[in-house]
A and B are shown apart, each in its own frame.
Chain A
Amino acid sequence: MTTTTPTRPAARTIYPTKKVTNPVLTAVIRHALIICFLVIMLYPVIWMVAASFKPENEIFNGLGLFASRFTLENYASGWSAGSLNFSRYFMNSFLVTVLSIAGNLVACSITAYAFARLEFPFKKFLFALLLGTMLLPSQVTMVPQYILFNQLEWINTYLPLVVPHWFGVDAFFIFLMVQFIRTLPRELDESARIDGCGHFRIFSRIILPLAMPAIGTTAMFTFINTWNDFLGPLLYLNRTELWTVPLGLSAFLDATSESAFGPLFAMSVLSLAPIVGFFIVSQRLLLEGVATTGLK
C-alpha cells in the first residue's frame, strides 16, 4: 500500500503500466482474490461440516451446502453409535495423545541436547544412524514390531502406541531440535557453567526455555500424528472400549454393507475440533518455530 508518485520510473512492462491509484480499490481487489482462494481451499471442509447437518440420504446429492432440512440427528446417532459412545473414544485418544506428546518432548529434547552439546565417542556415527532410521519405511518394521509387542503381551494395551515415544524413536523431531539447539550461542552455556551449572541445569535452565519454538513444533506435530494415527490402533487395539477416535470413525464405514455417512461426517467434524483448537492456542509458537528452525 504505497502512495504512488508520478516521478516513479515506469520501467516494468510486464505489469500494467498505469498504476491503480486508489488504495481502497487495490485493497478490496486483493482481499477479494485472497478470500476466493480461501473459500476454494476450504470448500471440502465446509462441505463436510454442511453435510453433517443434512439428512442422511441427501448427503451425496451434489456439491451444494443445503439440503431440504437442517438436522442434528447425525450428531445424536453418531455420538452414541454402537455399544459404546464417542466420549469413550475421545477420552482414549486424549490419553494416548497426551502420553505420546510428553514422551516425545522428554526423549527428543534430551537426545537432541546430547547430540548438539556433548562430546562422546562415535557421536557422528550415531547421529548418522539416527538419521538413517528416518529412511526406513514404517511398513518394513511393522511385522517385526508386531511380533515384538505380541511377545511382550502388549496387544490390547496402549503400551505399543505410547512407549516407543519415550525412547526417542522419532528421529525427525530429534533432528529438528538438534538443528535448533546448534543455533543457540554457546556463550550462554559457558556463562552458566561459570556460575556452577552442570549439564542438567544448563539443559533445563538455558536450553529448554530458549528452544520453546522447536518444542512447540514438536508438540504440535506429535499431536496431529498421534491424534490421526489409524494403523497403530488398528493393529494393537482389539477391544472396542480401548478404541481411539479414528477407529470409531472407521466403524461407520462398511464397504460390504451400509455405510453411515451422516454420523461419519458429524463425528469427523468433532474430531477435527481438538486439532483446530490446539493449533489456535499454539499458533504463535508454531509459526515462530517453523520460521526459526528452518522447517519446510
Chain B
Amino acid sequence: MKLQRATFLAGATAAALLLSACGGGTGANSGPAADVPGADGKGEVKGDIAAAWWGGTSRIELTNKVIDMFIAENPGVTVDRQSADFAKYFDKLNVQAASKDLPCVVQLQGRQINDYTKRNVLLPLDPMVESGAIDIADIPKAVVDAGRGTDGKLYFLPYGAAYDAVGVNTTLAEQAGVGTLSEGYDWPEFISYLSKAQEKMPDGVNASNNGGGRPNYFIGWTQANGKKLFNDEGKLGFEKSDLTEYWKMWEDLRQKGVTVTPQQSSEEPTAPDQSYLAHGQVMSDTLPGNAFTPASKTLSGAAPGQALTTLPYPSGPSGSGNALYPSGFAVSANCQNIPTAAAFINYFTNDLEAGKTFASDNGAATNTKVLDAQIADPSMSATKKHELETYKKIVSEDPPTIVFPAGYQSVFENSFKRAYEEVAFGRMSVDQAADKFFDEANAKLGQ
C-alpha cells in the first residue's frame, strides 16, 4: 500500500510535469470553446464512447451491468470500458491526458478535478445542463457544487457522494462505560469522550487512532469552526495558529496515551478495510462512510462479537463538520461524441434502474429519488442502509462545499501527513512543522 502511494505520487508528479509542458503549447485561454458542435450535449445518441472509472472486480461488474443497460436502451451505442484501481487509474489517466486521448467519459472527484481543469482537458457541463441533456433537478445543490472547478463551472456530475464519518467500535465503548456520543456533539465533547474511554480500554487497545495527520479530520475540524480551507487563489485559507491548535489537540491526546504511537501510525495499512479500527485495535477513527460495510466485515473476523457504527463528524460553532467527497463523471475536451457522453452521464446518475443496479457502490447515490428507492429496498444490507441514512442526514444539514485547488491530492495530503509525523516522532515542534507545511503547500498549490 505504501509502495502504491509512492508510485502514484511519482506518476502523478511526472504526469503533472508533462501536462504542464503540453499546456504551454496550447495557450492558457484556448480552452474548449462552447461553439464546438454538440457542446450542449444535444444530438443523436449513437456511436462509440470510452468510459473510465476506478475500482476492483465487484465495481467493474456493477458498472458493466449499468453500461449494458445503457446500450440496450440506446441501440447503436458502443462503450469502450477502462478501469483500474484508484492510484493506477490516475497513472493511466495522466498519460492519456498528456496525449490528448482521454476517454470521453472519465470518473473524477473534487480532490483532483482542478488538476485537469487547469490544463483545459475537460469540457464544462453547464451548456449540457442548460440544454436539458443532463438533469440536475434531483441532486442537492451542495452536492452538485462539489463538481465545480475553481472557475465556478460544472466539470463533473456527482453520482455518488462519499463522506467521512467517525467510526466507533460500540462493543469497546460499552465495555469502557462511555456509551455513545450524543447527537450534535462537538470537538471538546469528542476529546473528553475519548480520554474517558481510554481509562478502561483493554491492554493494547487505544481509544482513538491518531487524527493529527489525517487531512480529512482536519477539514472537518476547520469546517465546524468556520475556517476557510483554501482562499480564492487556491492557497491555504486558514491561519498557522489554526493548524497548531489542531495539532496540539492531537499531540495532547497522543502524549496521554489515548491514541496509538507514531510508530504504529506509520505501520498501519492504508486500506480502510484493513485499518486498526477494522481489527478492533482502536475504539474510534475517521472512516470513509462507504468503508463501513467492508470494515465491519473485517472486524467480524478479527474480533468476533464486536460491532462498529459510524457517526457524523463533530459539529462546531459553524455547524456541521461533514464535507462531502462526491465522485462523478466528466466529459473530456477531446471527446468526439458529446451527445452520447452526456446521455451516458445522465443515465448513470439519474436513472432509477441504473441506480438500483449500481447500489451506491461508490458513495451514496446523489439523486434523491434513487437514494430513497435504495433505502426503501429490503434487499439492501443493514450496514449499507446505515451508510446511506447517515449520508441523508449529513446532506440535510447543508454541508459545506469545498473547491480543492489543483495539486490538492498530490501536495496537500502528503505534506500534511509528513509534517505531522515530524511532530509525532519528536523531530520538530508543532510550530516548526506548521511553518514547513505552509511553505510546502503554498509553494505548489493552485499550480
B341 at the interface (CB under 8 A from A): no
B82 at the interface (CB under 8 A from A): yes
Interface-side segment among B24-32, B51-59, B232-240, B396-404: B51-59
Interface-side segment among B90-98, B135-143, B211-219, B420-428: B90-98
**Is A143 a contact of B294 with CB atoms below 8 Å?**
no
Q: How far is the CA of A92 from the CA of B300 in the complex (A)?
A: 38
Which A7-54 residues sit within 8 Å CB-CB of chain B? none
Q: Which interface class (under 10, 10 to 19, 20 to 34, 35 or more) fits B?
A: 35 or more
Q: How far is the CA of A56 from the CA of B294 in the complex (A)?
A: 12
Which residues on B sit within 8 Å (CB–CB) of A147? 99, 101
Given contacts A83-B61, A256-B55, contact A238 B96 (CB under 8 A): no
**Is A82 a contact of B302 with CB atoms below 8 Å?**
no
**Is A57 a contact of B57 with CB atoms below 8 Å?**
no
B439 vs chain A, min Cβ distance (A): 27
Q: How far is the CA of A255 from the CA of B54 in the complex (A)?
A: 9
B30 vs chain A, min Cβ distance (A): 19
Tell me the count of chain A residues lying within 8 A, CB to CB, of chain B: 36
Give the residue of A142, A234, A256 whose beta carbon is less than 8 angstroms from that of B54: A256
A49 vs chain B, min Cβ distance (A): 20
B270 vs chain A, min Cβ distance (A): 7
A264 vs chain B, min Cβ distance (A): 10
Give the residue of B87, B91, B271, B361 whose beta carbon is less than 8 angstroms from that of A231: B91
Given contacts A57-B297, A82-B57, A238-B81, contact A257 B361 (CB under 8 A): yes
Across the interface, name the chain B residue whose C-beta is closest to A59.
Answer: B301
Give the residue of A230, A240, A258 whose beta carbon is less than 8 angstroms from that of B56: A258
Contact with A along B296-312 (1 / 0, CB 8 A): 01101110000000000
B279 at the interface (CB under 8 A from A): yes
Interface-side segment among A108-116, A245-253, A268-276: A245-253
**Is A57 a contact of B86 with CB atoms below 8 Å?**
no
Across the interface, name the chain A residue whose C-beta is closest to B294.
Answer: A258
Which residues on B sit within 8 Å (CB–CB) of A240? 60, 81
Give the residue of A234, A254, A256, A261 whose beta carbon is less than 8 angstroms from that of B91: A234
Across the interface, name the chain A residue whose C-beta is closest to B297.
Answer: A57
B274 at the interface (CB under 8 A from A): yes
Which residues on B sit within 8 Å (CB–CB) of A239? 80-81
B293 at the interface (CB under 8 A from A): yes
**Is B50 a contact of A238 with CB atoms below 8 Å?**
yes
A48 vs chain B, min Cβ distance (A): 15
B380 vs chain A, min Cβ distance (A): 16
Given contacts A57-B298, A238-B82, A257-B290, contact A252 B56 (CB under 8 A): yes
Across the interface, name the chain A residue whose C-beta is closest to B302.
Answer: A61
**Is A60 a contact of B61 with CB atoms below 8 Å?**
no
Q: How far is the CA of A60 from the CA of B58 in the complex (A)?
A: 21
Given contacts A234-B88, A234-B91, contact A258 B81 (CB under 8 A): no
Given contacts A238-B81, A239-B81, A256-B86, contact A251 B95 (CB under 8 A): no
**Is A257 a contact of B14 with CB atoms below 8 Å?**
no
Given contacts A234-B88, A250-B84, contact A257 B301 (CB under 8 A): no
Which residues on A sit within 8 Å (CB–CB) of B85? 250-251, 253-255
Give the residue of A61, A231, A251, A258 whose beta carbon is less than 8 angstroms from that of B301: A61
Q: How far is the CA of A235 from the CA of B84 in the complex (A)?
A: 10
B129 at the interface (CB under 8 A from A): no
**Is B362 a contact of A83 with CB atoms below 8 Å?**
no
Residues of A whose CB lies within 8 Å of any CB of B are 55-58, 60-61, 81-83, 139, 142-143, 146-147, 150, 156, 230-231, 234-235, 238-240, 247, 250-261
Q: Can you identify 11 A-B contacts, CB atoms within 8 angstroms?
A: A60-B298, A82-B57, A83-B61, A146-B101, A234-B92, A240-B60, A250-B84, A253-B85, A255-B4, A255-B270, A259-B56
* 8 residue pairs, one from A and one from B, having the closest CB atoms: A57-B301, A254-B56, A258-B294, A255-B86, A238-B82, A147-B99, A143-B98, A82-B57
Residues of B whose CB lies within 8 Å of any CB of A are 1, 4, 10-11, 14, 18, 50, 54-61, 64, 80-88, 91-92, 95-96, 98-99, 101, 162, 269-271, 273-274, 279, 288, 290-291, 293-294, 297-298, 300-302, 361-362
Apart from A56-B301, A260-B56: 19 A-B pairs, beta carbons within 8 A: A55-B301, A60-B298, A61-B301, A143-B18, A238-B80, A240-B60, A251-B56, A253-B56, A254-B57, A255-B85, A256-B54, A256-B288, A257-B58, A258-B294, A259-B271, A259-B273, A259-B274, A260-B57, A261-B274
